[in-house]
Structure 1
């Protein structure tokens, strides 16, 4: 640590400045090549290694309603959207319940299930929260071990 406490860089800068000022025959050409090469490398990195994509134009659509809509039509639209949102939330909640059950975590959704049944009705709520049947692709190692060894009569002896 002691050797860095008394740093003096003026000698190094003066040597560098003296080297630059000496007249050499190709001094300006070398400087030009050095600057062009540096610019080329930095430009290549900024253009190709760190690309910037300009944002594309977006078209955003929105619903356009008639100005003559009645209050009952507006409320019916609100209710339909609320029911759809509730149905989607019930499906997500059922997925989270299955995940929590597989991880052994308590997940209480009785209040949310009650609201879903009140909003959608019992049949639609039950369909939204229905657990899909798991797809069985192959037997597990435990199932194969429980079946026991294969019969010796089906296996052909190796010579």
Structure 2
């Protein structure tokens, strides 16, 4: 009984919706004076409110976030300018070292894909920052990528079919 008959759809019964008759009947039923009309409305509304509140409260429980204590590096107030500067330089060198390693990985990827990748400007900054350590990083990370053959080279190496036998 759940499906709509195709015959009824073709006849046009479901093409023109008119709900005004149903709404007027509902309004007329509500307006009739009944002895417990307001009590039943109050119970129905209270039940709906309790139902929605219960779903919102218990169906998807919300846990209040617990307070967290986050510690951060604290420096003494009497640090000298030289100590502050040395700390900045150490952090900058570490960042430059990480960037050089990442750049070397991108260079390997570019070499394998046959894409031109120019990092000379960044390498110059790395050498200025790290000095001789930059050359050691460059040597350790620039291992030659494996030589990959092209499609044409592989086709040329494939065994050629034997010529047909002559009679």
**Displaced runs of 4 or more, over 4 A:** 7-10, 21-35, 131-134
1:88: Cα distance to partner? Answer: 1.4
Number of aligned residue pairs: 129
1:23-76 Cα distance to aligned partner (Å, 9 max, x none): 499996698468636753674367545x64533323222332222222211111
Q: 1:43 to 1:111 in 2, by over 3 A?
A: farther
Query: 1:97 aligned to 94, 107, 124, which one?
Result: 107
Q: TM-score, normalised by structure 1?
A: 0.55
Partner of 2:116: 106
Unaligned runs of 5+ in 2: 1-14, 146-167
Partner-residue secondary structure (3-state), 2:101: helix
- The reply on whether 1:44 has 2:55 as its aligned counterpart is yes
In the alignment, the residues of structure 2 paired with residue 132 and residue 46 of structure 1 have an alpha-carbon distance, to the nearest angstrom, of 60
Instruction: Give the 3-state SS of the residue equivalent to 2:141 in structure 1.
Output: coil
Secondary structure in structure 2 of the residue aligned to 1:40: helix
Q: 1: distance between equivalents of 2:111 and 2:63?
A: 44
**Does residue 127 in structure 1 map to residue 144 in structure 2?**
no
Return the match for 1:83 from 90, 93, 101: 93
- Larger Cα Rg: Structure 1 or Structure 2? 2
Structure 1 stretch displaced more, 39-48 or 84-93:
39-48
Any stretches of 5+ residues in structure 1 without a counterpart? 135-159
Q: Answer whether contact 1:86 1:116 (CA < 8 A) is retained.
A: yes
Q: Which segment is superposed worse, 16-25 or 83-92?
A: 16-25
From the superposition, tell whether residues 105 and 15 of structure 1 become closer, same or farther in structure 2 (CA, over 3 Å): farther
The DSSP-based 3-state class of the residue aligned with 1:58 is coil
User: How far apart are residue 131 of structure 1 and its match?
Assistant: 5.5
What is the CA distance between 1:111 and its match in structure 2? 1.0
- Once the two structures are superposed, the pairs formed by residues 65-84 of structure 1 within 5 Å of their partners are 65-84=75-94
